[in-house]
Structure 1
């Protein structure tokens, strides 16, 4: 092993009381650094040969116990180094990274501080959506916990149950809680990967995230036709909302965020070829006749690398994500007005076009596997969640098909 740890007294750092810090001297890749143990003694109380505090030390009731505590810190560091070597990770780490792993490995490692670190890492990698979700979770936990420090070991099943009661008592929904807990679970899993907490402490083996079924979001084909038939002047406040909704529906539920980041070059040879930002699944869809006027309107005068829709307007990546968030809020507001114009009673939101496309596809007999691919889902289970709450008219149609089949065989 090219890395090792020894106990030492740092004789260069004298404290005001005449004592010196006991440190772990970490050596890795021919470089060395120190890690504080939190204990100090005088030069006369330190046995350099034994690397321990002398039995004559009068600062504590039990010198043996104190030496054991200090030795445990050394054993802890050595165990982590051995684990990293077994996992093939040790050689990839710099000495500062290895030092950070050792100092953060303890059960006292703070979940809140680690979460903020993950938020910053996500921002640096351009994953602003996940960064926002993690930060929202951080704010909820911070408000609930009311303390600066939250050791990972305290994020237990009991902690999660208390969090659930507190969150719901404030008038929040189970689905809102589920979103918070999914982010919390993701951060916890990352901490396990980073060796900050043992997997045996993982609370989600016992605690299960609950979620209420979402309300039906799909609208009828007749409602879609009314939106398609609606003619609006380009200065009308609902002009873009109508176009975005129809484009999303005709592109088999392309979500608003993906549409916002779509570029002119993603549309070529009569097809849309685009990688979903969330799942990295590839869209490869045929362009239908009804989509052409919308594409032609927004693509006119633009270069291949320009965004197709006038949603993202600023050059900075962080600002671009803010543009999408703001535009989606405006879009949802406009959709409510569009629903009034088209005499649609259902609540029209940015998700409705996607759910409607999936539901209509199922009604037409398209296999769920194909629907999943068209939606760009990462797995069939996600698609099944979309289709779990089918509108009553579709259930009635299936019931009629079953009855007709029975009559034919009678």
Structure 2
């Protein structure tokens, strides 16, 4: 950032006085800030003319402003243009800067722009940053700070992947800040975020059959049936499944655009899936859960908890004090989640030796030899794979 003092004759007012201003330039960008000092004669450098009224006092004041500008630019060279502009305005005018945003403030600003499903991760990151260093700003974060933050999370017994999630969120905020010229500082350059591979949460075909055929009623039956529907529809994401509309189902196929990526999908709706869709047909949606729930997230939480109760119900009597007996469940599968259906679909496909690229097509993943030139061929590959997987699961069903 460069600057110079300006006293333009063209700005002389009706009293014959010229405003003393500072013009700042950064590459092709420029802005002007008035010091509030008025001069009778043009200023040469930082010195007022000897015959200028109160010339010594005005010169002293202007020198103080210049010293503050130099110090600010030196200490904030990594700060982006917009923040530098705001800080320099405050220095020249003597008014306090309106912006005192910390890193956690910026993380929350980013969170407000995200979808509901993503917002939680940003808010968690903001809370952790605030707990660790509530005075951190964009310009003060460096690699050492990031390492200290990671150690702080270690002390809270955070997992490797949870720490990675928080750091990824902070990194995305810096990317956003760079794009909006709020900072020039980027501490993630050559900074490696460590992750670890999590175990694949798939189940065996025998366990899947046991869940499918387990005697249930009411809500638990619906939770199980929607789990199976997820499986039949190539492990469709729960957010996409619950927000399908009637128009997404046409001619025995479900065509929809993935909420997370915006990518268009085209998958078969086999008879097993259609039976469940008809059973839980919605009024405003293809399926009924969102007819009574404000968002898919509110239903998803109940669905997630309900899957863990698919199994034998046992009544446990209280051994101390009064109260009703409580119920607990011995689940068919420990830690069953909605996403288990997706992992299981893929693992059964691999067990049946369906080519990896075909499984990738079913799941909506990209693959090197899968191109838009072969859409009809790819659709048949998906249809054949889905039918083969479901037939295998149905193998022992009476």
**TM-score, normalised via structure 2 length:** 0.67
Q: Quick one: which of 165, 187, 194 aligns to 1:179?
A: 165
Instruction: Give CA-to-partner distance per residue, 1:160-193, whole Å, 9 cap, x none.
Output: 1111111121122111111111111111111122
Matched, 1:338 2:310: yes
Please name the residue that 1:308 is paired with. Answer: 286
CA–CA distance in 2 between the matches of 1:104 and 1:338? 59
Structure 1 stretches lacking a partner, 5+ long: 12-19, 27-31, 81-98, 381-410
Distance in 2 between residues matched to 1:298 and 1:105, nearest whole Å: 61
1:204 aligns with 2:182: no
Distance 1:276 1:105 in 2: 45
Report the alpha carbon displacement of residue 367 of structure 1 after superposing the two structures with TM. 2.6
- Alignment partner, residue 112 of structure 1: 104
Q: Is the 8 A contact 1:260 1:312 kept in 2?
A: yes
Report the secondary structure of 2:289's partner residue. Answer: coil
Counterpart position of 1:160 = 146
Matches within 5 A, 1:8-157: 42-43=37-38, 48-50=42-44, 52=46, 54=48, 56-57=56-57, 59=60, 66=67, 69=70, 102-103=85-86, 110-122=102-114, 127-147=115-135, 150-157=136-143
2:395 counterpart residue number: none
The 5-angstrom pairing of residues 199-348 of structure 1 reads 201-233=185-217, 236-299=218-281, 302=283, 306-313=284-291, 320=294, 323-340=295-312, 344-348=332-336
Label 1:229 to 1:64 Cα distance change in 2 as closer, same or farther (>3 A).
closer
Task: Give the CA deviation at 1:277.
Answer: 0.4
- 1:153 Cα shift? 2.3
Change in 2 beyond 3 A, CA 1:251/1:145: same
Kindly indicate whether the alpha-carbon contact (under 8 Å) linking 1:281 and 1:377 is maintained by their aligned counterparts in 2: no
SS at match of 2:254: strand
- Paired residues for 1:311-390 under 5 Å: 311-313=289-291, 320=294, 323-340=295-312, 344-377=332-365
Distance 1:352 1:25, change over 3 A: same
Indicate conservation of the 8 Å contact 1:339/1:348, yes or no.
no
Answer yes or no: is the 8 Å Cα contact 2:245–2:285 preserved in 1.
yes
Higher helix share: 1
Q: Is the contact made by 1:105 and 1:196 (CA closer than 8 Å) also made in structure 2? A: no
Determine if contact 1:152/1:197 at 8 Å carries over to the other structure. Answer: yes
Aligned residue pairs: how many? 318
Q: What's 1:189 paired with?
A: 175
Worse-matched range after superposition: 334-343 or 155-164? 334-343
Question: Contact between 1:261 and 1:312, CA under 8 Å: does it hold in 2?
Answer: yes
Structure 2 residue 156 is the aligned partner of structure 1 residue 170: yes
CA 1:157–1:340: 2 relative to 1, 3 Å: farther
Q: CA deviation at 1:331?
A: 0.9
Q: Report the structure number with the largest CA radius of gyration.
A: 2
User: Residues of 1 paired with 2:70 and 2:196: CA distance?
Assistant: 48
**CA deviations over 1:50-75 (Å, ceiling 9, x no partner):** 474649456479669628739969xx
Alpha-carbon distance change, 290 to 25 in structure 1, aligned in 2, over 3 angstroms: same
Query: Within 1, Cα distance between the matches of 2:289 and 2:280?
Result: 11
Give how far 1:219 is off.
0.3
Q: Distance in 1 between matches of 2:243 and 2:103?
A: 33
Shift of 1:254: 0.8
Following superposition, the deviation at residue 145 of structure 1 comes to 0.8
Please tell me whether the aligned partners of residues 279 and 377 of structure 1 are also in contact (alpha carbons under 8 angstroms). no
CA pair 372-343 structure 1, distance change in 2 beyond 3 A: same
Secondary structure of 1:226 counterpart: helix
